[in-house]
Amino acid sequence: MERDNRKMMEEEKWTLVIVPKTGFFKLDLGELWRYRDLLVMYIRRDIVTFYKQTILGPLWFILQPLFTVLMFMFVFGGIAGISTDGLPRPLFYMAGLLCWNYFAECMNRCSDTFNANQNVFGKVYFPRLIVPLSIVVSSLVKMGIQFILFLFIYLYCVLDGGATDVNSYSINEYACLFPLLVLMLAGLGLGFGLLISSLTTKYRDLRFLVTFGVQLWMYATPVIYPLSVMQQSHEKYMWLIIANPLTSIIETFKYGFLGEGIFSWWYLGYSFLFTVLIVVWGMITFNKVQRSFMDVI
């Protein structure tokens, strides 16, 4: 009898085999690939949801940074008189906001993954990493629209002759690093978002800290001021600014597209290494928490 049962089990061809996960960190990339259709669906949902029931639609992607640039020009450029390394103010501020907005968008939305999707996660199984990955990809649409706005501002400044030397903010070969910079911004936003999302399942008040902390973080990043200002007037605090992994990314972008800024392969290498570590750390923590987060929430 036992022999017959064993034979029947061997002849069965199972379509799905459920086994317990082992090890502290086991990320099944093959499983993510099998659920790629779901990833595409989530990306489309994120984009369509933003446009739904709005009058201006994707114009909000342009109006938000545009009004922010105008406010920066009035407060930091006009009243405070902070230097922009001789660059036209709208061009300088837009360059910093382009990179910062993408990072902040990815981190803020990824950090709410468990809380925002607990109803779905509790009803059906799929790789939970699909949700934060879709956020990172769909946010590229917003960044792409804002990058076009940046190019329009760049062309306006060149044609208008707003600077004494047009070549002082010319695009150079370091602009080819732009895809790498976007990848690093996405990695930082994803890594920090996964860490925060994992912690907020147990400590809910971290969500309020993230909203406040992101605002403060921007002022510790050379978005509204050039790194050269810190180097000249506050040299003893330079190590704090350099320790910020976003510093070299934004400075490299400005150096590549505007010809101004402080570029260093060492600084960029540090940011790249930091990005890899934070992504790995975030995935390890996320993978550990997803097994039992429904019991906590």
CB 102 within 8 A of CB 182: yes
Check whether 262 has a pLDDT greater than 60. Answer: yes
* Nearest-10 Cα torsion for 123, 124, 128, 133: -110
pLDDT, tens digit, 9 for 90 and up, residues 10-34: 555 556 655 555 455 556 666 777 8
pLDDT in tens, 229-258: 777 767 777 888 889 999 999 999 999 998
Mean pLDDT of the chain: 80
Residue 41: strand, helix, or coil: helix
CA dist 123 and 249 (Å) reads: 40
Phi, psi at 70, each rounded to 5°: -60, -40
- pTM (global) more than 0.85: no
pLDDT at 245: 93
Q: Where are the domains of the chain?
A: 26-296
Take residue 250 and report the two structure tokens written for it: 């934004």
